[in-house]
């Protein structure tokens, strides 16, 4: 993805409250981000392990969302990331929930999906990080096609957070 500035990242959040934005910390490695290897910028809040952030460039602009990670994490079960299709043992992929933007969010309307717990889908797809005890789904797609699928899945998910009023299947 294109390299984003800190201001762009901070200004991209569509579902964050003022207090949430004020205490938002960029990841410690932000200045060393290897943007070429990323399809989205994702990190877990270092002080709040139940809060994650995902920022990506989409056809409707740079969009960032705050995600809620589960407090109780299941053990011993396999979970599949719905964005990159990496398979993880129990806690490696988590159901992450985003409050929708605008009026829908005020009504506690949320969308959720299973995402790699460290928000590092791009690294798994490129073989830069390995899912210990998990791995890739057996499939014939090459890396370029898997990256395209990841980007499409990220954009679809972000669209569901942004497009509060459109009815979509759950």
Question: Residue 166: CB partners within 8 Å, gap ≥ 6?
Answer: none
Between 43 and 105, CB nearer to Zn ion: 43
CA 20, CA 46: separation in Å to the nearest integer?
A: 14
DSSP 90-143: GGGEEEEEEEPSHHHHHTT-EEEEEEETTS-HHHHHTTSS--TT-EEPP----H
Residues from 118 through 147 that contact Zn ion (CB under 5 A):
121
Q: Residue 57, SS3?
A: strand
Between 10 and 126, name the residue whose CB sits nearer to Zn ion: 126
Provide CB contacts within 8 A for 133, sequence distance 6+: 88, 89, 92
Residue 116 binds to Zn ion (criterion: CB under 5 A): yes
Cβ atoms of residues 122 and 152 within 8 Å: no
User: Measured from the CB of residue 134, what is the shortest distance to Zn ion in angstroms?
Assistant: 10
Looking at residues 42 to 61 of the shown chain, list those that interact with Zn ion (rule: CB under 5 A): none
Stretch 82-101 residues interacting with Zn ion (CB under 5 A): 83-84, 86
Q: Which is nearer to Zn ion, 16 or 116 (CB)?
A: 116
Interaction pattern, residues 64-83, with Zn ion; x per rule: CB under 5 A: -----------------x-x
Least Å from the CB of residue 41 to Zn ion:
14
Interface with Zn ion, residue 154, by CB under 5 A: no
Minimum CB separation of residue 150 from Zn ion in Å reads: 7
Whichever of 90 and 102 has its CB closer to Zn ion, that residue is 90
Q: Are 47 and 25 in contact (CB under 8 A)?
A: yes
Interface residues with Zn ion (CB under 5 A) are 81, 83-84, 86, 116, 121
């Amino acid at each position: 993805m294109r390299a984003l500035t800190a201001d762009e990242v901070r200004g991209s959040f569509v579902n964050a409250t003022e207090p949430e934005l004020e205490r938002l910390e960029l990841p410690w490695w932000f200045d060393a981000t290897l943007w070429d290897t990323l399809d989205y910028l994702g990190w877990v809040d270092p002080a709040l392990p139940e809060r994650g952030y995902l920022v990506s460039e989409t056809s409707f602009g740079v969009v960032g969302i705050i995600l809620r990670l589960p407090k109780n994490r299941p053990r011993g079960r396999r979970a599949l990331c719905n964005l990159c299709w990496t398979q993880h043992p129990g806690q490696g992929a988590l159901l992450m929930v985003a409050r929708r933007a605008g009026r829908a969010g005020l009504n506690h309307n949320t969308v959720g999906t299973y995402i790699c717990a460290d928000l590092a889908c791009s690294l798994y797809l490129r073989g830069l990080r390995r899912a210990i005890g998990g791995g890739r789904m057996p499939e014939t797609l090459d890396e370029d096609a898997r990256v395209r699928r990841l980007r499409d899945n990220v954009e679809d998910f972000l669209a569901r957070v942004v497009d509060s009023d459109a009815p979509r299947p759950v």
